[in-house]
Amino acid sequence: MKPDSNYSIWLADSPPAEVLSQTLGDALAEGATLWPDREAVVYNCQPNIIETRWTYLELNNLADRLAANILSQGFEPGDKIAIWGPNHPEWILLEYALAKAGLVIVALNPLYKKAELAYALNASDVVAIFHADTVGDNPLIDIIRAVRDQVPTLRGVYSFSSGVQELLAKEPALSHLASVAPDDILMIQYTSGTTGKPKAAQLTHSAITTTAKSSYLRWGFTEGSRVCHGFPLFHVGGSGNSIPGAALNGATTLPLYIFKAEQTLDILEQEKCTGFIGVPTMITAMLESPSFAQRDFSGLKRIVLGGAQVPAYLIKRCEENFGVEVLNCYGQTETCGVTTSTVVSDDTKTKSESSGQPLSGVSVKITDASGEIVAHNVAGELCYKGPGRMLGYREKTDNDNAFDGGDWFKSGDLAKMTSSGYISIVGRSKEMIIRGGENLSPAEIENYLLEHPDVIDAAVIGLADEKYGEEVCAVLRTNNKNHASPAEIRAWCSEHVSRWKVPKYIAFIENFPATHSGKVKKFLLKELMSKHFGININIEENS
């Protein structure tokens, strides 16, 4: 539909587009009937993983068997089962098996340390955990043993290797699986925790299947597509979108165990992939590969990028070198990974300056601090209503400020909406810099800085200032040792942006402090830069 003619609100058609009344397990079973011999999951060209090729029928049969034998261990539908490891084939098999058994998946970051693991297991009352043998050189079982006494609900521990194989080797103890409803919780995904402890978002089968199918259709991934993707499976972009999106549309999914540019290029070329889903840094790494020019990407049709704003120069470079269309999207854990997306017909300017229009069935509004809807092209908080919205966080107090009027989820992201319904993300509400009463968007300034030839990454924050309340600070990663000086970068900025957006403080850094999923911890960066520039962080901000 079209947005309101005066205000930043986009309402889905009424009645809304089809909401799938389908569980993830039923979706796989249907795929086994429709495309029994088509490859559902492929792992190849990745030395750390044994080549795996499961057809839809094979994957469905394995998932049925594993589901029955997991339930035979004394677990009941609704119990919380954690999956802890990198993108192994067993992760995907477990995802479908647990979905069929009516068990709730708790997705865990494989880089968790002891305290993080104990917190995540306790926060979701996990009763069993399936884990990879090692991550790097670290045996995960050692970490589990170290925290097991701190997790009173935990009673089952199984490895991806021997544990899963032993369960698959048994004759199924159940003749049929329990009924699972589309509105049942499918998985718990933890938010990144850039400003505090991670929150446990509860996502239903229907929310996942509807959003995954709708986003794949928006991107043009349909029956017969072969889609390689780089999102980790503990992330909603992996297990919540890429895996179910393929199954719901008859595509083949080719997950990356761990992103490595050369191996990814091998997969795209040798497996004749028609699509790739990842983040901008992956594209940059592949384009810089010495072997890129010798590659044959004649099968590739489309690249979808998420997780960060995509600069115009990168879109143009990608389209010219890969010879494909590039789309970009925006979403959150709490909305099953995708809220908006561009389409093929959008031009480069639109793709770089926005994240597209809402998916089918999704409503979006932009509100000010008082909850009133703002005019077009005015920044405010993005609110979401639609089939992909989470049920809520497990911790009830986390829900106190999460919803507006019951149905709308308050994203915490600052955004603008054009008169044609295109959404541009301009930052986090808590990250907005207020300098002398002027609201400044960190994301906008970051995008300008990324156009400087010496800058490969930028993070903009506000530092306390007695006169203006806050001053702009830019923390930069550069591509060479002889990069421009702070004074030269400020002079360059002065030619491109308004004077109040020019950073007063500029610092260079090798690596940003970041969450395990790669988001910059700006609260920590602010502490580091305040100390670096000798600023009293007790100055009252925004005064």
Is 3 within a domain?
Answer: no
Rounded to whole angstroms, how far apart are CA atoms 423 and 431? 18
- What would the mean pLDDT of 130-146 be, rounded to a whole number? 94
Supply the pLDDT for residue 447: 82
Give the DSSP letter of residue 307: S
DSSP secondary structure of 48-92: TS--EEEEHHHHHHHHHHHHHHHHTTT--TT-EEEEESSS-HHHH
Closest CA to 252 of 269, 272, 235: 272
Supply the pLDDT for residue 541: 37
Residue 230: alpha-carbon gap to chain centroid: 10
- Please, which pLDDT band fits residue 539 given cuts at 50, 70 and 90? very low
Q: Which distant-in-sequence residues (6+ apart) come within 8 Å of 165 by Cβ?
A: none
Supply the pLDDT for residue 380: 92
Supply the pLDDT for residue 439: 66
Handedness of CA 133, 137, 142, 143 (dihedral sign): negative
- Of 101-115, 259-273, 305-319, the poorest mean pLDDT is in 305-319
Domain count, the chain: 2
Residue 379 sits in the same domain as residue 458: no
Residue 362 sits in the same domain as residue 459: no
On the question of pLDDT at 542 being above 50, the answer is no
Residue 404 sits in the same domain as residue 439: no
Distances (CA, A) of 367 to 370, 372, 382, 417, 509: 8, 5, 7, 11, 35
Phi, psi (deg, nearest 5) at residue 69: -80, -25
Q: Please tell me the pTM assigned to this model.
A: 0.84
Residue 70 sits in the same domain as residue 154: yes
Structure-token pair, residue 359:
């998916």
Residue 124 sits in the same domain as residue 25: yes
Query: Is omega for the bond preceding 486 within 30 degrees of 0, making it cis?
Result: no
Of 417, 452, 479, the residue that ends a domain is 417
On the question of pLDDT at 145 being above 90, the answer is yes
- Of 137-151, 272-286, 392-406, 438-452, the poorest mean pLDDT is in 438-452
Rounded to whole angstroms, how far apart are CA atoms 54 and 43? 9
Rounded to whole angstroms, how far apart are CA atoms 253 and 264? 13
Closest CA to 198 of 469, 432, 517: 517
| Tens digits of residue pLDDT in 30-85 | 999 999 999 999 999 999 999 999 999 999 999 999 999 999 999 999 999 999 99
Residue 158 sits in the same domain as residue 50: yes
- What would the mean pLDDT of 188-215 be, rounded to a whole number? 87
Residue 90 sits in the same domain as residue 61: yes
On the question of pLDDT at 300 being above 90, the answer is yes
Place of tokens 């290029």: 265
Place of tokens 């295109």: 422
Q: Beta strands of 279-422 (E only): which ranges?
A: 302-305, 325-330, 340-341, 357-358, 363-367, 380-385, 392-393, 403-404, 408-417
| Tens digits of residue pLDDT in 346-393 | 999 999 889 999 999 999 999 998 899 999 999 899 999 999 999 999
Is 364 within a domain?
Answer: yes
| Tens digits of residue pLDDT in 384-417 | 999 999 999 999 998 988 998 778 999 988 899 9
Rounded to whole angstroms, how far apart are CA atoms 262 and 418? 39
Residue of higher predicted confidence among 24 and 442: 24
Residue 16: alpha-carbon gap to chain centroid: 25
Supply the pLDDT for residue 71: 95
CATH number assigned to the domain comprising residue 62: 3.40.50.12780
On the question of pLDDT at 18 being above 80, the answer is no
Is 543 within a domain?
Answer: no
Rounded to whole angstroms, how far apart are CA atoms 418 and 357? 10
Is 485 within a domain?
Answer: yes
- Of 75-79, 315-319, 431-435, 527-531, the poorest mean pLDDT is in 431-435
Rounded to whole angstroms, how far apart are CA atoms 513 and 524? 7
Is 538 within a domain?
Answer: no
Residue 401 sits in the same domain as residue 335: yes
Long-range own/partner contacts, residues 529-532 (CB < 8 A, 24 or more apart): 529/461, 529/463, 529/473, 529/475, 529/505, 530/463, 530/464, 532/507
| Tens digits of residue pLDDT in 470-526 | 899 999 999 888 999 999 999 998 887 778 889 999 999 998 988 766 678 888 898
Which domain, by its residues, includes 212? 9-417
Residue 445: alpha-carbon gap to chain centroid: 23
Of 361, 383, 417, the residue that ends a domain is 417
Number of helices (H), then strands (E), belonging to the chain: the values are 15, 29
First and final CA of the chain: distance in angstroms? 42
Residue 195 sits in the same domain as residue 277: yes
Give the bridge partners for 417, in sequence order: 423
Is 424 within a domain?
Answer: no
Structure-token pair, residue 339:
């809220």
Supply the pLDDT for residue 137: 85
Residue 410 sits in the same domain as residue 453: no
Supply the pLDDT for residue 1: 55
CATH number assigned to the domain comprising residue 448: 3.30.300.30
Residue 82 sits in the same domain as residue 175: yes
| Tens digits of residue pLDDT in 271-289 | 999 999 998 889 989 999 9
| Tens digits of residue pLDDT in 230-259 | 999 999 999 999 999 999 999 999 999 999
Is 188 within a domain?
Answer: yes
Residue 474 sits in the same domain as residue 352: no
Rounded to whole angstroms, how far apart are CA atoms 144 and 131? 9
Of 417, 452, 478, the residue that ends a domain is 417
On the question of pLDDT at 24 being above 80, the answer is yes
Supply the pLDDT for residue 543: 29
Tell how strand 104-108 and strand 80-84 pair up: parallel
Distances (CA, A) of 80 to 1, 25, 144, 179: 39, 17, 16, 17
Is 185 within a domain?
Answer: yes
**Percent of the chain residues past pLDDT 90, beyond the cut:** 73
Q: Beta strands of 142-222 (E only): which ranges?
A: 156-159, 185-190, 200-204
